Homo-oligomer: A and B are copies of this chain.
Amino acid sequence: MRIAVIPGDGIGTEVVPAGLEALDATAARFGLTLEFAEFSFASAGYWQRHGTMLPPDWEETLRGFDAIYFGAVGWPDVVPDHVSLWGSLLQFRRTFDQYVNLRPCRLMPGVRSPLAGREPGDIDFVVIRENTEGEYSSVGGRIFEGTDRETVLQETIMTRVGVDRVLRYAFELAARREAGHLTSATKSNGISISMPYWDERVAAMKDNFPGVRVDKFHIDALAAQFVLHPEWFDVVVASNLFGDILSDLGPACTGTLGIAPSANINPTRASPSLFEPVHGSAPDIAGQGIANPVGQIWCGSLMLDHLGHPEAAAHLLGAIEDVLAFGPRDAPLTPDLHGTGTTAELGHAIAERV
């Protein structure tokens, strides 16, 4: 299997090596051949050298791989975030039509939740985020610039194709899971055109999945319930923006953003899928070697699963859980996990455990 590796910016470049070490160990144990090719584009450094985020042939290049293993991109001191993101990650998601962004939220053994009295098992759900349209569009503009009449328009665009395919994925996932429960994030009381449409498509899709229990929450109430009743949720399906918010909030409730992985999936396999931790480049802690590599390593597990190796994937996830369960006294957990370990030490411990 040929994997394109893009470390990107900030802590992306620190956690990716730990992720590769764990992947190598897993591949060795399961007799898999993983070939890694590393690329320096999609980073602020590349921008400084070339004035663009990507080389002209990036699409062709990346299409030659089975998957993309991605760190984090964004370094606002050098290039504005909307330029770097629309010039790389958001571009990948769209061009490769990675229309499902799957983000597990699980309270892991050994990790302290900021929520009082929550134990592993209490929080275990998946956010399925629409990943190619919706609120993330670059359609719109500005008029009467620099005057008191200055007005800015930004279009949200939902299509039947785009909404239905991600809903179908989420319903199928819910149907396979034990709880069989799907929650739709909406805001149809306030956002009066796009969100009632979203609700309509959920109602239509529901008829195909009589075994799935369906409910919906407005995004404001849903965010509140993530904190008050995270145990209510199983599969949560959401638009691009709402999924973005919920998939940071969920991991926060499980203790740290540092462990959360995400899979940007094209379920048709017509183009490569991309695996990246939920955390960003984290300029505030970059360069110190203390970033938590677990999100990046867990991404490796999601990638192996996607590539058809569920046993290897489960084994890698198990190794993560084992090491976390030792707790900050007995394992080199990073500061966000209340330990004093470094990125490299924690990565190494997980690779060893594999």
Contacts and interface: CB of A to CB of B under 8 A. Distances in A.
Interface of A: 74, 80-82, 84-86, 90, 112-117, 135-136, 138, 140-142, 147-161, 187-197, 219-221, 223-225, 227-228, 240-241, 244-245, 247-249, 251-253, 256-257, 280
Can you tell how many copies of this chain the complex includes? Answer: 2
A82 B189 contact: yes
Contacts of A189: 74, 81-82, 84-85
A154 B155 contact: yes
B223 A251 contact: no
Given A115-B114, A152-B197, A193-B153, A224 B244 contact: no
A167 to B, nearest CB: 14
7 contacts: A135-B191, A136-B191, A140-B193, A150-B159, A153-B156, A223-B223, A223-B249
Contacts of A191: 135-136, 154, 241
Nearest to A83: B192
Nearest to A76: B189
B81 A188 contact: yes
Nearest to A136: B190
Contact of A116 (B81, B86, B116, B251): B116
Contacts of A157: 151-153
Nearest to A280: B221
A221 B81 CA distance: 14
Contacts of A114: 115-116, 227-228
